[in-house]
Amino acid sequence: MRMLARERTTAWGCLALLGGVLFVGCTPDPPVETPAPVVETMDSETPDPSLDWTDEERAAVDAVYIYLEKVAFISQNLGTADRTTIFEVAGPPATASLQDIWIAWSERGWRQVGDPSFSVSDAYRVKKDNRGVHYTVRGCFDPSPAYVVDREGNPVGPNSGSRGMAQYGVLSLASGHYLVVEDIQEEGTC
């Protein structure tokens, strides 16, 4: 999902742009005394949660974005995409419902147009068991930029829904590979 990748990297792009703007006009001339810069701070009730994430939690978040990109790609290219490639980034039970949806859509000639978006609000370790280490990644999922069309490109039914909280269960295997194993759309809005 190209939109997802952009959302995730927008902050870094802005910082890079800001850094470029700050250094424009720097010259080797002798320093001139200038007044101290005024720095405005914005009060925020929701600080950036990614600042406190461990490397493993960041990897779990990355796994969710990769999963969502793969789901969008397959959903948009059902006639040509290899649906089994979802198993590279996800496992059951998340994959079971996707396969059922894709089979039904393929039989009807349907496909997805557009990319939903997802913004992470939290990521944390849940437990460790004989399968690996489990993480939960939560955030706001907005399906509205995407919709389903028939063979002729006509929208099928209403749009994909409204923004809501989503929770993804991510399993970190002993090999270091991360798989999305749960994809839960929660009640409520965000």
97 domain residue, yes or no: yes
DSSP 13-65: HHHHHHHHHHHTT--SSPP---PPPP------SS--GGGG--HHHHHHHHHHH
34 domain residue, yes or no: no
Taking 50 as the pLDDT cut, the residues of the chain under it are: 1-44
Model pLDDT, residue 50: 64
**Global pTM value:** 0.72
Beta-ladder partners of 141: 118, 164
The tally of domains found in the chain comes to 1
Model pLDDT, residue 42: 38
Model pLDDT, residue 2: 38
127 domain residue, yes or no: yes
Domain that holds residue 165: 53-185
**CATH number of the structural domain spanning residue 62:** 3.10.450.240
Give the whole-angstrom CA distance, residue 160 versus residue 171: 27
Give the whole-angstrom CA distance, residue 146 versus residue 144: 5
172 domain residue, yes or no: yes
- 66-120 residue pLDDT tens: 999 999 999 999 989 999 999 999 999 999 989 999 999 999 999 999 999 999 9
Model pLDDT, residue 79: 87
Model pLDDT, residue 189: 85
Model pLDDT, residue 52: 86
77 domain residue, yes or no: yes
Model pLDDT, residue 6: 35
Model pLDDT, residue 4: 43
Beta strands in the chain (DSSP E): 111-113, 117-129, 132-142, 147-149, 164-172, 178-185
88 domain residue, yes or no: yes
13 domain residue, yes or no: no
143 domain residue, yes or no: yes
Model pLDDT, residue 160: 63
